[in-house]
Amino acid sequence: MVHTIQEKIDSLGLSRVLNSNIPVDIEKVAKFLGADAVVRADIEGAGMLLPRGDGRFAILVNSRDSRARQRFSCAHEIAHAVLDSHDIANRSSLEQPKRSIERYCEKFASHLLMPAPAFDAYAQQRMASMNSIVDLADVFDVSIQAAALRYVETLSEPCILICSQFQLGRTGNRLRIKWSYETLARAEHNSKHFIPKGKSLKNQAMEVAYWTNSLQKSNDALDLGYRSIDAYSESMGFGSSNNRFVLSLVFPTNRGSTMVSES
């Protein structure tokens, strides 16, 4: 039997620990689950799990990363520590097992730092907007990207989350898709909705968001590779210099026309 993330969290007796204190004290959670120590160290990657073999373990996180990043790395390594074969067995057999494990740990980490029902309750009190995501990142002490991904899970209407950055491509240095997440594709298990990574976004509101620190709203058609959709979108820029990125929350406004059938 494959556990859902929530079933796994419940089976570890974690729900109360997670929801009793917001933002979640992730080091306390690590210790609750058998960690002897969480150490900030000069390491190669973002985090490292050092199992001791008797169920106890230590976690190292990269001391050069931001606090939000360190918290997420700690949560991710906790996921590795508690993961067992039931959690990922049969999960998308087409996927490489290692990638599947990493995805599971990312999602698990997100639910440790932004637990249900506390996160969902906070999210539902707010309008579906970029400003709500900024608030939630602050309340839960997580990165804006982590908050955004967790936030769209709580929305009932279809939406697309796009993270874009200036990148050099065949058509020059442009704002391009770094990653995207579609709740619509997830709901319909429709891989045709795949938005190509690296696709340039000729969207003025997104570009203005990159160059300014103000929230940009747009009602323009959005070109997402093989299809164009009518959408309401909100975009905001974060970070500086090479790490500058734009996060866009996109709500398709005319769902019928977005269903480009390919026969």
Q: Which residues bind Zn ion (CB under 5 A)?
A: 102, 105
Report, in Å, the least distance between residue 47 CB and Zn ion: 7
Please provide residue 64's backbone torsions phi and psi, each rounded to the nearest 5 degrees: -85, -15
Task: Read off the tokens for 249.
Answer: 């929350």
How does strand 216-218 pair with strand 228-238?
antiparallel
Pair 252, 158: CB distance under 8 Å: yes
CB-wise, 58 or 105, nearer to Zn ion? 105
Report, in Å, the least distance between residue 149 CB and Zn ion: 16
Report, in Å, the least distance between residue 46 CB and Zn ion: 9
CB-wise, 97 or 117, nearer to Zn ion? 97
Pair 98, 108: CB distance under 8 Å: no
CB-wise, 105 or 116, nearer to Zn ion? 105
Report, in Å, the least distance between residue 72 CB and Zn ion: 11
CB-wise, 105 or 175, nearer to Zn ion? 105
Name every residue whose Cβ is closer than 8 Å to that of residue 160 and which is 6 or more positions away in sequence.
Answer: 180, 181, 182, 183, 184, 195, 224, 231, 248, 249, 250, 252
CB-wise, 61 or 105, nearer to Zn ion? 105
Element (H, E) at 182: strand 172-182
Type of residue numbered 117:
P
Report, in Å, the least distance between residue 168 CB and Zn ion: 29
Pair 42, 64: CB distance under 8 Å: yes
